[in-house]
């Protein structure tokens, strides 16, 4: 199979395109992932921050409530303060629970510590609500300074810790995100370089291939020009050959027939002058005249048969071929075996003439060029087609030679004109095999062939 | 002896007539210039012998002979031809011709041919039988074959000669004073030995071997 460029180029280009599209999609997905990771990180940090803020706010608020309670001298307001504090404690605890859920395992101990301190902080308020006004007045400054303040400071310090850790982990994770961003950039660089490299490779290959094809098409054009030139030369030679044949015919007519007619006329003149003197010269001239006329007759007959054998028209193809073979055997030392299969009747004049000329030319070549000793001529009539084979044991020739034979070219042309196929197979010292197959359109049957063939049996 | 001439060339007819009229007992009953006219004259003039040129317009001489012999089996036919090749000779024989003359030697051969045919024998121009024999010998030599005439018995040779001279099986039987089936057996044997397939080939063979002249 011939090598084709376009599938390779198409595959390489679509590979390149796929690489680019694939990497764009992958990049988009990766960037999206990084963005959402960052978003998630910020969101988490914000949530932790807000919980801590609320926690701290509630703690501060509780301090204010406790101070307000201690400064309030009426007893009936005590349950309300207590409820408000319990409410704050509850909010505070649920915020803490939310925080515990939010933070990771690294922060869990800190949160647990925060919880312990907070519980401690809230439980520290419990005794207050049993105090009398006098107790409030006497002990509240001390209680606030020694109990509430340190506990609150402890809680706030831990909250501060948690916040610090939160910030730290944010920074850490942001750094991780930055790392994956760097990875993405490296990936993009890789894709860019590899697709550039692949593109350059495809381009270089395509350029080389196009150059090669252009060179080849140029060679082909030159070959065709050469073929056209040799075709023209062959045509010219064909014309020359035709002219040569005419010259030969003309010379034959003029030199032989003309000379003999001249001689005949001279003999007749002699007869005329010698008519009264009967004797040897008279009889001799008459005999010479007859001899001249006979020779002339034979010359003209041979000439006519050479141009077109009367058998072809009188009896058909087979008798004409048989005559051709016999006639050749009379003139040259060559054995020709003719084998005809099938009827051969109802062939058109064109087909008869074509086959006859092919055999004639082939046999002429066998004698003139191949110096063959034996020739096998096979003609098979297969109803809708004819097969002709001529095979000799001569010296053969190179069929690739540019001047493999003008006669053969003419035959090829003749056969092709009738829609047939002409093939020749030879080589130096290998003999020559010539094969012709041609369709015979039996629909246009002409019954002109062989009017006498049935009588021969 | 009533003779009809058929040739498309007037000059040739005149030459033939001049030659034939020197023979005593010959009467030229008509001249035809093409095949159809020859057939018409054959019907109306009823000649004993017809001299036919092969190359005639409208119907060639061999076709005329074939048609005429169908109607008149006793008609004697002499064919004139340019060609000494076997493809013409064998067809002329098949069409019933008993004389075959080459045009180049007509003046020498015509009267002997007319005499031979009138006497019920056959006649071929010497150049024709020479050519047929040469072709035959060359053909045999090229294929390394031998002529098997020597294989025939004396009786078979007699039968061959009589058949080649144009006699029917019955006439041969009468001439040799044997039964018809005996002649048929001889005929079959000699045809097999010589590789012949029909009467025309028997005559051709006899001409080649100069068994008949």
Give the end of a domain, one of B91, B124, B157.
B124
pTM above 0.95, yes or no: no
What one-character DSSP code corresponds to residue B46?
A: -
Partner-chain contact A330 B60, CB within 8 Å: no
Whether residue B149 has pLDDT greater than 50: yes
What angle is formed at CA A337 by the lines to CA A334 and CA A339, rounded to 5 degrees? 160
Domains of chain B: total: 2
A chain contacts of residue B63, beta-carbon cutoff 8 Å: 451-452
Q: Is A433 in a helix, a strand, or coil?
A: strand
What angle is formed at CA A441 by the lines to CA A440 and CA A443, rounded to 5 degrees? 145
Q: Are residues B100 and B119 in the same domain?
A: yes
A chain contacts of residue B83, beta-carbon cutoff 8 Å: 301, 310
Rounded Cα distance, B117 and B102, in Å: 16
Fold entry, domain A6-206: 1.20.120
Domain CATH number, residue B53: 3.40.50.2300
Partner-chain contact A330 B135, CB within 8 Å: yes
What's the mean per-residue pLDDT of chain B? 87
pLDDT value for A451 = 44
Q: Is B137 on the interface with A (CB under 8 A)?
A: no
pLDDT value for A456 = 37
Partner-chain contact B95 A452, CB within 8 Å: yes
A388 pairs with which residues across the strands? A379, A436
Q: Is B96 in a helix, a strand, or coil?
A: coil
Q: Are residues B14 and B85 in the same domain?
A: yes
Task: Indicate which of A324, A336, A455, A457 best probes the interface with B, i.e. most B CBs within 10 Å of its own CB.
Answer: A455
Q: Is B146 on the interface with A (CB under 8 A)?
A: no
pLDDT per residue as tens digits for the range A168-213:
888 888 898 889 889 889 988 988 898 889 889 888 988 988 899 9
Q: Are residues B111 and B150 in the same domain?
A: no
pLDDT value for A373 = 85
The position carrying tokens 């095949």 is B35
Q: Are residues B28 and B75 in the same domain?
A: yes
Closest residue in A to B67 (Cα–Cα): A455
Closest residue in B to A338 (Cα–Cα): B139
Partner-chain contact A455 B95, CB within 8 Å: yes
DSSP for A65-126 reads: HHHHHHH---STTHHHHHHHHHHHHHHHHHHHHHHHHHS-TTTHHHHHHHHHHHHHHHHTTG
Rounded Cα distance, B120 and B165, in Å: 8
Asked whether this chain's domains A6-206 and A309-455 adopt the same fold, the reply is no
Whether residue B79 has pLDDT greater than 90: yes
> Closest by alpha carbon to B205, among B153, B110, B116, B136?
B136
Partner-chain contact A314 B60, CB within 8 Å: yes
Please tell me the distance in Å from B59's CA to the nearest CA on chain A.
10
Give the end of a domain, one of B124, B147, B166.
B124
Query: Which position has the higher pLDDT, A231 or B4?
Result: B4
- Smallest Cβ–Cβ distance between A455 and the set B55, B91, B103 belongs to B91
Q: Are residues B72 and B115 in the same domain?
A: yes
Whether residue B146 has pLDDT greater than 90: no
Partner-chain contact B135 A294, CB within 8 Å: no
Question: Within a domain: residue B213?
Answer: no
pLDDT value for B5 = 93
Q: Is B11 on the interface with A (CB under 8 A)?
A: no
pLDDT value for A342 = 83
Contacts with A13 (C-beta within 8 Å, 6 or more apart), sequence order:
A202
pLDDT value for A9 = 80
Ranges in chain A, pLDDT < 50: 444-457
Q: What percent of chain B clears pLDDT 90, i.e. is strictly above it? A: 25
A chain contacts of residue B85, beta-carbon cutoff 8 Å: 311, 323, 326-327
- Smallest Cβ–Cβ distance between B87 and the set A294, A322, A330 belongs to A322
pLDDT value for A406 = 67
Q: Where are the domains of chain A?
A: 6-206, 309-455
Give the end of a domain, one of B105, B124, B143.
B124
Q: Are residues B104 and B46 in the same domain?
A: yes
- Smallest Cβ–Cβ distance between B87 and the set A298, A311, A329 belongs to A311
Whether residue B134 has pLDDT greater than 50: yes
Q: A99-108, A361-370, B36-45, B85-94 — which is least confidently predicted?
A: A99-108
pLDDT value for A278 = 62
Q: Is B14 on the interface with A (CB under 8 A)?
A: no
What one-character DSSP code corresponds to residue B144?
A: T
- Smallest Cβ–Cβ distance between A297 and the set B54, B62, B104 belongs to B104
Residues A94 and A58 sit within 8 Å (Cβ to Cβ): no
Q: Are residues B114 and B140 in the same domain?
A: no
**What is the count of residue pairs from A and B with beta carbons less than 8 Å apart?**
59
The position carrying tokens 């034996």 is A374
Q: Are residues B87 and B136 in the same domain?
A: no
Q: Are residues B137 and B116 in the same domain?
A: no
Q: A154-168, B52-66, B168-182 — which is least confidently predicted?
A: A154-168
The answer regarding whether domain A309-455 maps to CATH 1.25.10.10 reads no
Question: Within a domain: residue B15?
Answer: yes
Rounded Cα distance, A211 and A220, in Å: 14
pLDDT value for A2 = 66
pLDDT per residue as tens digits for the range A141-150:
888 888 778 8
Partner-chain contact A326 B86, CB within 8 Å: yes
Q: Which residue segment(s) compose the domain that B136 sits in? A: 132-208
């Amino acid at each position: 199979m011939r090598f084709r460029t376009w599938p390779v180029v198409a595959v390489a280009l679509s590979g390149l395109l796929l690489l680019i599209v694939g990497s764009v999609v992958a990049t988009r997905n990766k960037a999206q992932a990084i963005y959402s990771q960052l978003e998630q990180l910020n969101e988490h940090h914000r949530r932790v921050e807000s919980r801590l803020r609320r926690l701290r706010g509630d703690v501060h608020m509780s301090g204010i409530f406790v101070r307000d309670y201690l400064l309030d001298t009426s007893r009936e307001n005590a349950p309300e303060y207590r409820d408000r504090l319990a409410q704050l404690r509850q909010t505070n605890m649920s915020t803490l629970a939310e925080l515990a859920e939010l933070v990771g395992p690294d922060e869990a101990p800190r949160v647990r510590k925060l919880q312990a301190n907070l519980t401690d902080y809230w439980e520290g308020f419990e005794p207050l609500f049993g105090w009398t006004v006098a107790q409030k007045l006497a002990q509240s400054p001390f209680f606030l300074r020694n109990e509430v303040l340190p506990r609150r400071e402890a809680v706030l310090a831990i909250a501060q810790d948690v916040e610090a850790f939160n910030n730290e982990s944010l920074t850490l994770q942001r750094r991780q995100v930055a790392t994956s961003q760097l990875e993405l950039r490296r990936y993009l660089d890789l894709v860019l370089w590899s697709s550039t490299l692949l593109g350059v490779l495809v381009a270089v290959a395509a350029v080389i291939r196009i150059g090669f094809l252009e060179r080849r098409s140029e060679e082909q054009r030159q070959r065709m020009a050469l073929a056209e030139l040799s075709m023209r030369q062959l045509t010219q030679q064909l014309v020359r050959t035709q002219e040569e044949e005419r010259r030969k015919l003309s010379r034959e007519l003029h030199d032989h027939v003309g000379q003999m007619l001249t001689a005949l006329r001279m003999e007749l003149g002699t007869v005329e002058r010698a008519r009264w003197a009967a004797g040897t010269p008279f009889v001799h001239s008459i005999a010479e005249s007859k001899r001249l006329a006979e020779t002339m007759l034979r010359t003209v007959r041979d000439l006519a048969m050479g141009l077109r054998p009367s058998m072809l028209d009188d009896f058909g193809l087979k008798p004409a071929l048989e005559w051709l073979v016999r006639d050749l055997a009379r003139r040259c030392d060559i054995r020709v075996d003719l084998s005809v299969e099938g009827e051969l009747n109802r062939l058109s004049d064109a087909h008869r003439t074509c086959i006859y000329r092919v055999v004639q030319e082939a046999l002429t070549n066998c004698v003139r060029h191949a110096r063959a000793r034996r020739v096998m001529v096979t003609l098979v009539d297969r109803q809708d087609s004819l097969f002709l084979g001529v095979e000799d044991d001569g010296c053969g020739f190179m069929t690739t030679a540019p001047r493999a034979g003008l006669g053969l070219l003419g035959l090829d042309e003749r056969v092709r004109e009738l829609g047939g196929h002409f093939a020749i197979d030879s080589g130096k010292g290998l003999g020559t095999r010539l094969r012709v197959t041609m369709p015979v359109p039996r629909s246009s049957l002409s019954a002109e062939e062989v009017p006498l063939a049935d009588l021969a049996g | 002896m009533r003779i009809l001439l058929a040739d498309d060339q007037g000059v040739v007819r005149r030459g033939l007539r001049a030659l034939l009229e020197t023979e005593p007992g010959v009467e030229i009953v008509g001249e035809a210039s093409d095949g159809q006219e020859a057939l018409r004259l054959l019907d109306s003039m009823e000649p004993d012998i017809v001299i036919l040129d092969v190359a005639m317009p409208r119907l060639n001489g061999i076709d005329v002979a074939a048609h005429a012999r169908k109607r008149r089996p006793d008609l004697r036919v002499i064919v004139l031809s340019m060609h000494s090749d076997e493809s013409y000779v064998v067809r002329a024989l098949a069409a019933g011709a008993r004389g075959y003359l080459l045009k180049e030697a007509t003046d020498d051969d015509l009267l002997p041919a007319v005499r031979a045919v009138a006497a019920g024998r056959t006649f071929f121009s010497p150049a024709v039988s020479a050519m047929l024999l040469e072709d035959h010998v060359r053909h045999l030599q090229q294929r390394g074959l031998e002529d098997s005439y020597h294989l025939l018995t004396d009786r078979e040779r007699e039968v061959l000669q009589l058949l080649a001279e144009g006699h029917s099986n019955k006439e041969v039987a009468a001439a040799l004073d044997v039964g018809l089936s005996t002649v048929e057996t001889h005929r079959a044997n000699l045809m097999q030995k010589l590789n012949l397939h029909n009467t025309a080939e028997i005559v051709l063979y006899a001409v080649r071997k100069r068994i008949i002249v």
